[in-house]
């Protein structure tokens, strides 16, 4: 007999709220960590000349995971010397041969995918389901994609010859450590460059583990060199005379300082910096799908995403409905141990970042926006922050202008497409945007008029190695991914 529908059925709100209980689902694969990581120079693990090491702390529980070598100027020098020595042979290798190394690296990463995912989650704090299902497979996909380009470079510019730039210096941030490494390494290697890369100081471990893959793949010594350390090491990478190009992903402030440092030199530069994306929802959108897109747009990777949909622009006629649905959905998000397979929002990457988020949220409250945070239990140790939304936000408030880089959404309203465009573009950044509507013509209009490198329509945070990614205005310049990204590592001769 079919069950009768009770009139006193719990409200949808309760069904999806805190009452939903999950058993713990801890990830148990070993990340195969070492207690100490050296530098990777000229195909060897090398102790730093500084003799100094710094701890890599797990944001999950504040435990020290490993000691990381601190590279000084002399170490960076050695890394560049190794890359320069390796360049002639690597750049002359037929593209098909370089491609074989890239295929091999991609396959080796797939073989050790779970181990890398666990290491990434422990070191950076992101939920295991994201490192397992997004970061690691995407990193492998970038190597596969660029492996395919290595022997087809001449078809990119028919009738002309493409040559590598030489030795390149690369600096990456902590939000997608392994994926950003793949974005940097794969196109540079496919084009025949050799390189020196520095990971972020809070997330060096998967980079150093990656060095073991390179050895396993038999990559010639010196083609890839890793130096670890903080800003000072980064500055040494940027300013080294051997570098023909610097590729940087990180904060707008550091990006600007690199631009200053390189002014007047002949080094090429690409910068992928901050963002404050507008995720724009029109009244004719499929609301439930849009709400999922809003949630994914801001809470993916704790909001540590330069293209995060951190400003929701919602059409006034549906604003109350959308806000109510977001609040319900927020209550179902599971915050906590990133190593638990159920976790939606893991740990904030560092104490420093947690403080920055708190500061900006306080500014939002003090400036009069309305804060909503669902009740959620947060582990007592580690760096955690609840999913948060601000409604009643105006464009002049800090939370509407500054990149929070955390799980905090600012909600603004608009009446017409023109007002949405005006508000969306009223920012110093221009990395990404989202548009939710049933009308194709409106999507075309918005994507043409929004000053953003990527515009997603009826989806958000979709990535593919074939698709170029990069910004306008203070979000930087240059593209990564696709043919455009490849060409950033080559010159016509
Ligand atoms: P965040 O403030 O979000 O940590 P950063 O821009 O400081 O972002 O960090 C991104 C990367 O830039 C990291 O690898 C970091 O070590 C590096 N970095 C920081 N300062 C400098 C600098 N002055 N020159 C070069 N790289 C730097």
In a domain, 2, yes or no: no
**CATH number assigned to the domain comprising residue 321:** 3.40.309.10
- Of ligand 1's atoms, which has the minimum distance to the CA of residue 255? 6
Q: How many CB atoms lie within 10 A of CB 53?
A: 17
Same structural domain, 347 and 419: yes
In a domain, 444, yes or no: yes
CB 349 within 8 A of CB 300: no
- What string of DSSP letters covers 1-30? -PPPPPTTPPPHHHHTTTT------B----
Give the position of tokens 């897109």.
293
Higher pLDDT, 21 or 384: 384
Residue 35 has pLDDT above 60, yes or no: yes
Residue 307 has pLDDT above 60, yes or no: yes
Which stretch of DSSP H or E encloses residue 162? Answer: strand 162-164
Residue 422 has pLDDT above 90, yes or no: yes
Residue 489 has pLDDT above 60, yes or no: yes
Instruction: Tell me, in angstroms, the distance from the centre of ligand 1 to residue 234's CA.
Output: 7
Same structural domain, 260 and 170: yes
In a domain, 290, yes or no: yes
Residue 468 has pLDDT above 50, yes or no: yes
Instruction: Tell me, in angstroms, the distance from the centre of ligand 1 to residue 172's CA.
Output: 8
Nearest CA to ligand 1 atom 26: 234
Q: What residues are labeled active site?
A: 272, 306
How confident is the model over 438-458, as a mean pLDDT? 98
In a domain, 356, yes or no: yes
**How far apart, in whole angstroms, are the C-alpha atoms of residue 352 and residue 365?**
20
Same structural domain, 325 and 372: yes
Nearest CA to ligand 1 atom 19: 231
How confident is the model over 368-382, as a mean pLDDT? 95
Chain mean pLDDT for the chain? 95
**How far apart, in whole angstroms, are the C-alpha atoms of residue 203 and residue 59?**
10
Give percent of the chain above pLDDT 90.
93
pLDDT score of 157 = 84
Same structural domain, 263 and 369: no
Which stretch of DSSP H or E encloses residue 289? Answer: helix 287-299
Instruction: Tell me, in angstroms, the distance from the centre of ligand 1 to residue 466's CA.
Output: 27
CB 384 within 8 A of CB 336: yes
Residue 481 has pLDDT above 70, yes or no: yes
Q: List the one residue out of 270, 266, 285 whose CA is nearest residue 180.
A: 270
Same structural domain, 260 and 284: no
In a domain, 373, yes or no: yes
pLDDT score of 21 = 76
Same structural domain, 306 and 359: yes
How confident is the model over 79-106, as a mean pLDDT? 98
In a domain, 202, yes or no: yes
Q: List the one residue out of 232, 166, 221, 222 whose CA is nearest residue 198.
A: 232
Confidence of residue 439 (pLDDT cuts 50, 70, 90): very high
Same structural domain, 377 and 488: no
Domain limits at 219?
Answer: 36-273+475-492
Instruction: Tell me, in angstroms, the distance from the centre of ligand 1 to residue 221's CA.
Output: 27
Residue 5 has pLDDT above 80, yes or no: no
Q: Residue 369 — φ and ψ, nearest 5°?
A: -80, 155
Confidence of residue 10 (pLDDT cuts 50, 70, 90): very low
For CA atoms 348, 72, 109, 244, the dihedral sign is positive
Same structural domain, 299 and 448: yes
Confidence of residue 159 (pLDDT cuts 50, 70, 90): confident
Residue 370 has pLDDT above 60, yes or no: yes
Confidence of residue 22 (pLDDT cuts 50, 70, 90): confident
pLDDT score of 6 = 41
Same structural domain, 40 and 178: yes
Which stretch of DSSP H or E encloses residue 189? Answer: helix 177-190
Same structural domain, 245 and 283: no
pLDDT score of 160 = 87
Instruction: List the single range of 107-111, 156-160, 310-314, 360-364 with lowest mean pLDDT.
Output: 156-160
Residue 179 has pLDDT above 80, yes or no: yes
CB 174 within 8 A of CB 58: no
Most informative mutation of 250, 256, 258, 351 for ligand 1 (most atoms within 8 A of CB): 250
Residue 2 has pLDDT above 80, yes or no: no
* C-beta of 403 in contact with ligand 1 (< 6 A): no
- What string of DSSP letters covers 355-408? HHHHHHHHHHHHTTPEEE-------SSS-----EEEES--TTSHHHHS---SSE
In a domain, 25, yes or no: no
Strand partners, 490: 164
Residue 3 has pLDDT above 50, yes or no: no
Strand partners, 225: 196
Instruction: List the single range of 6-20, 125-139, 191-205, 252-266 with lowest mean pLDDT.
Output: 6-20
How confident is the model over 184-203, as a mean pLDDT? 98
Instruction: List the single range of 9-18, 254-263, 472-481 with lowest mean pLDDT.
Output: 9-18
pLDDT score of 108 = 98
Q: Residue 435 — φ and ψ, nearest 5°?
A: -130, 130
* C-beta of 119 in contact with ligand 1 (< 6 A): no
Same structural domain, 322 and 246: no
What's the number of domains the chain is made of?
A: 2
């Amino acid at each position: 007999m079919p069950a009768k529908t009770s009139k006193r059925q719990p409200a949808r709100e309760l069904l999806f709220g805190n009452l939903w209980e999950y058993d713990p689902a801890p990830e148990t694969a070993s990340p195969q960590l070492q207690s100490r990581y050296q530098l990777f120079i000229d195909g060897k693990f090398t102790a730093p000349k500084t003799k100094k090491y710094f701890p890599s702390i797990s944001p999950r529980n504040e435990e020290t995971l490993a000691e990381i070598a601190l590279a000084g100027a002399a170490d960076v020098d050695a890394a560049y010397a190794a890359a320069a020595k390796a360049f002639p042979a690597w750049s002359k290798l037929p593209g098909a041969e370089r491609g074989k190394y890239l295929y091999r690296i991609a396959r080796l990463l797939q073989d050790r995918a779970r181990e890398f995912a666990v290491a990434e989650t422990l070191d950076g704090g992101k939920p295991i389901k994201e490192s397992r299902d997004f970061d690691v497979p995407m990193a492998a996909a970038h190597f596969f994609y660029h492996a395919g380009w290595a022997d087809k470079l001449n078809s990119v510019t028919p009738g002309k010859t493409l040559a590598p730039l030489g030795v390149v210096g690369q600096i990456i941030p902590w939000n997608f450590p392994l994926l950003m490494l793949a974005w940097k390494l794969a196109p540079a290697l496919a084009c025949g460059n050799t390189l020196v890369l520095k990971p972020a100081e809070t997330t060096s471990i998967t980079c150093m583990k990656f060095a073991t893959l390179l050895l396993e793949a038999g990559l010639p010594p010196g083609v890839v060199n890793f130096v670890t350390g903080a800003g000072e090491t980064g500055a040494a990478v940027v300013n080294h005379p051997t570098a023909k190009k610097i590729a940087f992903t990180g904060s707008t402030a550091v990006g600007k300082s690199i631009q200053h440092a390189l002014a007047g030199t002949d080094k090429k530069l690409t910068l992928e910096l901050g963002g404050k994306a507008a995720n724009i929802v029109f009244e004719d959108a499929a609301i439930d799908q849009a709400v999922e897109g809003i949630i994914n747009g801001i809470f993916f990777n704790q909001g540590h995403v330069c293209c995060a949909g951190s400003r929701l622009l919602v059409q006034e006629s549906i604003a109350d409905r959308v806000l109510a649905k977001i609040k319900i959905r927020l209550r179902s998000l599971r915050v906590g141990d990133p190593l638990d397979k159920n976790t939606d929002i893991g740990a904030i990457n560092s104490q420093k970042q947690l403080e920055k988020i708190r500061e900006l949220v306080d500014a939002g409250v003090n400036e009069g926006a309305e804060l909503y945070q669902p009740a959620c239990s947060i582990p007592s140790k580690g760096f955690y922050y609840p999913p948060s939304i601000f409604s009643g936000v105006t464009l002049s408030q800090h939370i509407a202008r500054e990149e929070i880089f955390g799980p905090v959404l600012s909600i603004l309203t608009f009446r017409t497409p023109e007002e949405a465009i005006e508000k969306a573009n009223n920012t110093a950044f221009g990395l990404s945007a989202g548009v939710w509507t049933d009308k194709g013509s409106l999507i075309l209009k918005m994507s043409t008029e929004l000053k953003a490198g990527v515009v997603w329509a009826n989806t958000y945070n979709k990535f593919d190695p074939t698709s170029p990614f990069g910004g306008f205005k203070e979000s930087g310049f240059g593209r990564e991914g696709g043919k455009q990204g490849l060409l950033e590592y080559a010159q016509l001769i």
